[in-house]
Chains A and B, each alone.
Chain A
Amino acid sequence: MNEKTVTFIVDGKEIKARPEQTIMKACDEAGVYIPRLCAFKDLSPFGSCRVCTVKVNGRPQAACTQPVGEGIVVESQTAEIQQIRRNIIDMLFVEGNHFCMFCEKSGNCELQAMAYRLGILAPKFPYMFPVRGVDASHPDIFIDWNRCILCARCIRTSCEIDGKNAYGFIGRGPHKRVATNSSAGLKGTDADVSDKAPANCPVGSLMYKRIGYAVPIGCRLYDKNPIGSDIEMKKTT
């Protein structure tokens, strides 16, 4: 190897990485999965969901934005961190209205899959049952705000991959939500069915119309294998 490398420790395992990598990227390459929702392979890091929280030399950091460093000691699968991750997933469930039983994304949903992976049977926090709407104005795409987790994957995909700016955040704090780049809603934007943005939404919030429930139960993405298995599979190679 002629490139410069740094070596660091994750949960007792030694990992080599390139100095410009984030902890998450380096761990992915080494077959160590760190749970995540807002981080996505082809998009710039964002750091909003905090599911990837780890401790770096004892200090909490988001693995998706924190760069590696020579000799750092990263804790990821500790009881404390796993509990924090479960709490964050619980928060996302109670913040919105996630009725998985009729959701088109069920089985392929990353939020649901993360809850499965972390063994969550029911959120410990009270449901907020917020009143949120749906934007079905566009012929091929819809937004169901009930399920949005504010990860900005649609915003980033539209800008970084689709070369558009169809979405953005408005409001602040608990009133924050995704909005479209037009006062007329989705139909007023240049979003179209060839966009990648709906495909990159982790949940059933930004979706292509008319392709729900296409895959039978049992054959969906996370029916058999937990989210992150693809990364962990690399361990053996």
Chain B
Amino acid sequence: MQKPKIATASLAGCFGCHMSLLDIDDRILKLIDLVDFDKSPVDDIKEFTGRCLVGLIEGGCCNEENVRVLQEFRKHCDILISVGDCAIDGGLPALRNGIPLKECLTEAYITGPTVYNPSGKIPSDSEIPLLLDRIYPCHEVVKIDYYLPGCPPPADTLWQALTALLSGKPIDLPYELIKYD
């Protein structure tokens, strides 16, 4: 029988959540026994090869590229999980949410005290995805089925959640594994 597939992505995140996934240590071998990894930075597969059981999303949406990837994940995954605070509430990047985009970019590229930018312009290249007006938590863009909070979520949280899902059980985290930091 074919193994179920898992896909992962890091949107506006710091890869901390992916590090936490690797932090399940030797259990990663068991995980490989249970599943195949599809599109993911873990195996560097860039495009979906087929339908996935689970998609793990790290980070919220800060630009149009994030939105595109997230929507693609929604299309390809039966179960989509927001992993980590950034995916759930925007996290650190969402500190810009109260500030108009123009002000953010002006400070970042022109007026900031450490900026060296003789052109005096905000960079604009068609290769650079356009920023959104603010950070959007993933569930504001697509339907999310589960949330695993933490910055990053403890490795045990990820392990327990995945093994529960793979055995068709509901995710039921003990007290010590629900963390927002």
Contacts and interface: CB of A to CB of B under 8 A. Distances in A.
Please tell me whether chains A and B touch each other in their complex, using a CB distance cut-off of 8 A.
yes
Interface of A: 97-103, 106-107, 112, 115-117, 119-122, 126-127, 129-132, 217, 223-224, 226
Contacts of A100: 85, 151, 180-181
28 contacts: A97-B97, A98-B89, A99-B85, A99-B89, A99-B94, A99-B95, A100-B181, A101-B85, A101-B91, A101-B181, A106-B181, A115-B180, A116-B178, A116-B180, A119-B178, A121-B146, A121-B147, A121-B148, A121-B173, A121-B178, A122-B139, A122-B147, A127-B89, A129-B90, A129-B98, A129-B134, A130-B98, A131-B98
Contacts of A101: 85, 91-92, 151, 180-181
A224 B97 CA distance: 33
Contacts of A97: 94, 97
B82 interface: yes
A132 B88 CA distance: 21
Chain B interface mostly: mixed
Contacts of A223: 176
Q: Closest 10 CB pairs between A and B?
A: A101-B151, A131-B98, A100-B180, A122-B147, A121-B147, A129-B97, A106-B181, A100-B181, A122-B88, A116-B178
Contacts, number: 64
A126 B31 CA distance: 34
A86 B89 CA distance: 17
B116 interface: no
Central interface residue in A98, A100, A103, A120, by most chain B CB within 10 Å:
A100
Interface string B44-76: 000000000000000000000000000000000
